[in-house]
Chains A and B, each alone.
Chain A
Amino acid sequence: MKYLAPTTIEGAVRLLSEASGSTRILAGGTDTIVQLNAEQIEPDLIVDIKRIGEIRGITNENGGFRIGAAVSCAEMTEHDGVRDLWPGCVEAAGLIGSTQVQGRATIAGNLCNGSPAADSVPAMVAAGAVVRIIGTDGSRDVAVEKIPVGPGKTSIGADEFVHSIFLPPRPERSGDAYLRFIPRTEMDIAVVGVGINLTMDASGVCTAARVALGAVAETVLLVEEAGDTLIGTHIDDAALDNLARAVSAACKPINDKRGTVEFRTRVAGVLAKRVAKIAAERARG
């Protein structure tokens, strides 16, 4: 195995396009180095992208925020601007692992790891985040929900890497939130995760809503029918019941030691109600 740390985007692209064997991108390393230590992966080349200045920071762009692929979750949760604009995305990023993991882990890595239970991904899908991917042919912008294609699998090519994730600007009276169910209070993997992002008009009627679910299917799911149950309502109890039904209906979970199919399906609905209430409260200001 070789380790290389290019300092420019072009340098990284060249390394990936010229590589003959298997490659791995190293950002925070909190998944990749675990897999290396356990010999689950044996890449021929590791490309550390943290020395590329352009992707190390958070930049304001047209009222939204571009989060570089090398930005740690700790840097993101400490950023007042991102916290104010996208509190749900920040709380999801803040749930990934311990303090020690927070100092290294990135939301780009959380996405690329391809886990259906990744905490930041449902929040980013609900937010309508856009991923900028760099490859030999230049860059392409892709909706975040198009990245995961199966457990541990993404639509990102072997010669490509994530440059940044864009959290868009948002209309007034918008709010987002993320909650997950775990059997303890910290340091666990989501049994179910729900991210909701919504907007209301001046009279308190919901005009737009996106609902995304984690850990209840092969990939994180964007459930349009669930968002639709909220649109046109005041997010009252009747709307929340409809939301819970739509969410549970969309679940296709597995049975495992952390949760049964029945449990995950039911809890997804319950969590969705709670998340919608928090998002609505934030939207009302």
Chain B
Amino acid sequence: MANIQVSTKINGDTYEFLCRPDETLLEVLRDRIGLTGSKEGCASGDCGACSVMLGDRVVSSCLVLGAEVEGQEVNTIEGMADGGNLHPLQRNFIKFAALQCGFCTPGFLVAAKALLDKNPDPTETEIRYWLAGNLCRCTGYDKIVRAVLHTAEEMRGQARG
């Protein structure tokens, strides 16, 4: 299998990489670029641990081929904090103890941010449906939902100034 040359933007930086045609974006991110924040829980689109932004959509990077991101923009968990400043979602996940082992956390954060960017005032039901494709074996979800609700409220407060 001949490798394919791909040029793309990841977290605002330009990357060039070579990948096999059957290699997923998740494998490229983790094994070729060294961005290991996105996790592989299933490789079948069921767990959401590999969630990244592809353009303006949250997607499972295990269900995207590396070759497909030529000329596109990818944003991963590594781009969420602003330098040393955590994103409010990251801060509140810690504050509300919305993680235990942490394996699912990058995926939840990326997916939750996509929700708040689109809908700054989601109901609890909307949050639960939006995050239904992110699985967590530890927390029982409730603390995650509280953390997202609280972050939304906090960010709306800031937006009002």
Contacts and interface: CB of A to CB of B under 8 A. Distances in A.
A88 to B, nearest CB: 19
Interface of A: 1-3, 5, 26, 29-30, 33-34, 36-38, 46, 48, 50, 72, 74, 97-101, 103-104, 185-187
11 contacts: A3-B4, A46-B65, A48-B67, A48-B68, A50-B68, A74-B57, A98-B48, A100-B45, A100-B60, A103-B57, A187-B133
B57 A97 contact: no
Contact of B65 (A29, A97, A185): A29
Contact of A100 (B21, B43, B51): B51
A46 B54 CA distance: 20
By secondary structure, the B interface counts as: mixed
Nearest to B21: A3
Interface string B1-30: 110100000000000000001101000000
B111 interface: yes
Interface footprint category on B: 20 to 34
A100 B44 contact: no
Contacts of B132: 98-99, 185-187
B127 to A, nearest CB: 11
Given A34-B45, A37-B62, A50-B68, 19 more contacts: A3-B4, A3-B67, A29-B65, A37-B24, A37-B43, A48-B68, A97-B45, A97-B133, A98-B48, A98-B134, A99-B58, A99-B130, A100-B60, A100-B111, A101-B133, A103-B57, A103-B58, A104-B59, A187-B46
Contacts of B133: 97-101, 187
Nearest to B1: A1
Contact of A37 (B44, B59, B115, B130): B44
B63 A30 contact: yes
A23 B134 CA distance: 32
Contact of B21 (A1, A74, A101): A1
Contacts of B114: 99
Contacts of A97: 45, 133
Nearest to B54: A103
Contacts of A72: 57
Contacts of B51: 100
Residue of A29, A100, A104, A187 ringed by the most chain B CB atoms within 10 A:
A100
Nearest to B125: A185
Residue of A1, A2, A3, A26 ringed by the most chain B CB atoms within 10 A:
A3
Given A5-B67, A187-B133, A103 B59 contact: yes
A180 to B, nearest CB: 15
A98 B131 CA distance: 8
Nearest to B4: A3
Contacts of B63: 29-30, 33-34, 100-101, 104
B44 A34 contact: yes
Interface string B24-62: 100000000000000000011110100100100111101
A11 to B, nearest CB: 16
Contacts of B48: 98, 100
B45 A26 contact: no
Given A2-B2, A50-B68, A100 B59 contact: yes
Contacts of B59: 100, 103-104
A38 B22 CA distance: 11
A5 to B, nearest CB: 7
Contacts of B22: 1, 3, 36
A5 B72 CA distance: 14
Contact of B45 (A30, A48, A74): A30
Contacts of A50: 68
A249 B57 CA distance: 43
